[in-house]
Amino acid sequence: MKRPIEWQIANVKAVKQETPRVKTFTLTLPDWLPHRAGQHYDVRLTAPDGYQAQRSYSIASEPERMGEIDLTVERLEDGEVSSYMHEVLARGDQIEVRGPIGGYFVWESMQGGPLLLVAGGSGVVPLMAMIRHRQRSGSDVPTRLLYSSRTPDDVIYFEELDELRAMDSGLEVIHTFTRRQPPGWKGYARRIDAQMLDEVIAPLGKMPRVFICGPTLLVESAANSLVEISVPTSQIRTERFGPSGA
Amino acid sequence: MDEQYEDINRELMLDGNAVAGLLQEVFGVEMTANPAECAHCGVVSDLGALWAFTQAPGAVLRCPACTSIVLRMVETPDAVYLDARGATYLRLERHAR
């Protein structure tokens, strides 16, 4: 794509509270372009005195949905942009964005699989775009999502993931809860480690395409663990979010 | 002390993806899937795979193999400064999507 990316004014079509700390903003774009699952948009705020703050947010929606995008945003305590979006931005408002951006952390159904997706917290967002794209494009590549959350209340897209998993034999969702588990929980209850990855990856063989997204330390640890269990680094793509929210 | 400092830095570390917008603004094409060779150790990495530090005024991209600085970018209201001394080359795909 040769043309430079331009800033444009998006309209907020809907705001959905996903979890206590996470909201999804549906934006309609006058200059919409199809994105690739995993790409992001830059969001820019400008104060009356000209001060600007800018952040990148992953697209949660699939490219098959035309004319609009979902950005799922976690509220960070000291986040200039995320606080504004959570506290001020409402349906009918406008916001300045540019995108879609990025070509490294992306997956398109024609690339095939199998896919191992590893998420920590809101790191699930670009992976959700991949899962939605996989489903909408009719892809049947075996896909496993390993999703680490602090508590069951922190799981983003819980119901949709459950529904997708139930109707699609090729998709597995494996949760791990690091701080509080649901009553009677028999699944993982610890941080992602090499043993967990070894168990989760087993049905996919040693050569799946791997996408890891989350807080920097989780991504580091997961990527190193995968190398430990002999997954080639060339198969692993990472996106780090920086320090975790709390 | 040093170790703690190192840990703080690593926690703030992002990927080249994080500055994909600025790179695209400067080069006019998507850059994160394009490779660069580290001038220090010779390892070739996609720009999206470089380590990015964006907390300072400006962005610093480091080689994930040897941690040397590959690219530095600073934005001012009128211009973008790009210091690419840490790269032997950047490869731009002619027909990048």
Tokens 């002390």 correspond to B1
Residue B9 CA to residue B7 CA, distance in Å, equals 5
Instruction: Note whether B75 contacts A: Cβ–Cβ < 8 A.
Output: no
Q: Please check whether residue A183 lies inside any domain of the structure.
A: yes
- Which tens digits make up the pLDDT trace of A193-206? 999 999 999 999 87
Q: Given an 8 Å threshold on Cβ–Cβ distance, is A103 in contact with B21?
A: no
Domain ranges, residue A165: 109-240
**Residue A244: which pLDDT band, with cuts at 50, 70 and 90?**
low
Domain count, chain A: 2
Do residue A163 and residue A228 come from a single domain? yes
Residue ending a domain, among A101, A119, A144, is A101
Q: Helix, strand, or coil here: A229?
A: coil
Do residue A222 and residue A122 come from a single domain? yes
- CATH label of the domain that carries residue A80: 2.40.30.10
- Which tens digits make up the pLDDT trace of A120-179? 999 999 999 999 999 999 999 999 999 999 999 999 999 999 999 999 879 999 999 999
Beta-bridged to residue B72, according to DSSP, are B60, B83
What average pLDDT is seen over chain A? 93
Please provide residue A217's backbone torsions phi and psi, each rounded to the nearest 5 degrees. Answer: -70, -35
Residue A98 CA to residue A126 CA, distance in Å, equals 17
Is the pLDDT at B5 greater than 60? The verdict is no
Is the pLDDT at A18 greater than 50? The verdict is yes
Q: Please check whether residue A2 lies inside any domain of the structure.
A: no
Residue B78 CA to residue A16 CA, distance in Å, equals 38
Is the pLDDT at A59 greater than 50? The verdict is yes
Beta-bridged to residue A149, according to DSSP, are A177
Do residue A199 and residue A233 come from a single domain? yes
Percent of chain A surpassing pLDDT 90? 85
Q: Given an 8 Å threshold on Cβ–Cβ distance, is A5 in contact with B12?
A: no
Do residue A120 and residue A174 come from a single domain? yes
Do residue A85 and residue A136 come from a single domain? no
Percent of chain B surpassing pLDDT 70? 89
Beta-bridged to residue B69, according to DSSP, are B62
Is the pLDDT at A246 greater than 60? The verdict is no
Q: Both ends of chain A: CA-CA distance in Å? A: 38
**Residue B4: which pLDDT band, with cuts at 50, 70 and 90?**
very low
Query: Average pLDDT for residues A84-96, to the nearest whole number?
Result: 96
Is the pLDDT at B35 greater than 50? The verdict is yes
Show me where the domains of chain B are located. 2-90
- CATH label of the domain that carries residue A220: 3.40.50.80
Query: Average pLDDT for residues B26-46, to the nearest whole number?
Result: 94
Instruction: Note whether B9 contacts A: Cβ–Cβ < 8 A.
Output: no
Do residue A159 and residue A63 come from a single domain? no
**Are the C-beta atoms of A89 and A12 separated by less than 8 Å?**
yes
Q: Given an 8 Å threshold on Cβ–Cβ distance, is A2 in contact with B11?
A: no
ipTM over 0.90: no
Instruction: Note whether B97 contacts A: Cβ–Cβ < 8 A.
Output: yes
A239 contacts on B by Cβ (under 8 Å): 15, 17
- Which tens digits make up the pLDDT trace of B39-64? 999 999 999 999 999 887 889 999 99
pTM here is 0.91
Q: Given an 8 Å threshold on Cβ–Cβ distance, is A240 in contact with B14?
A: yes
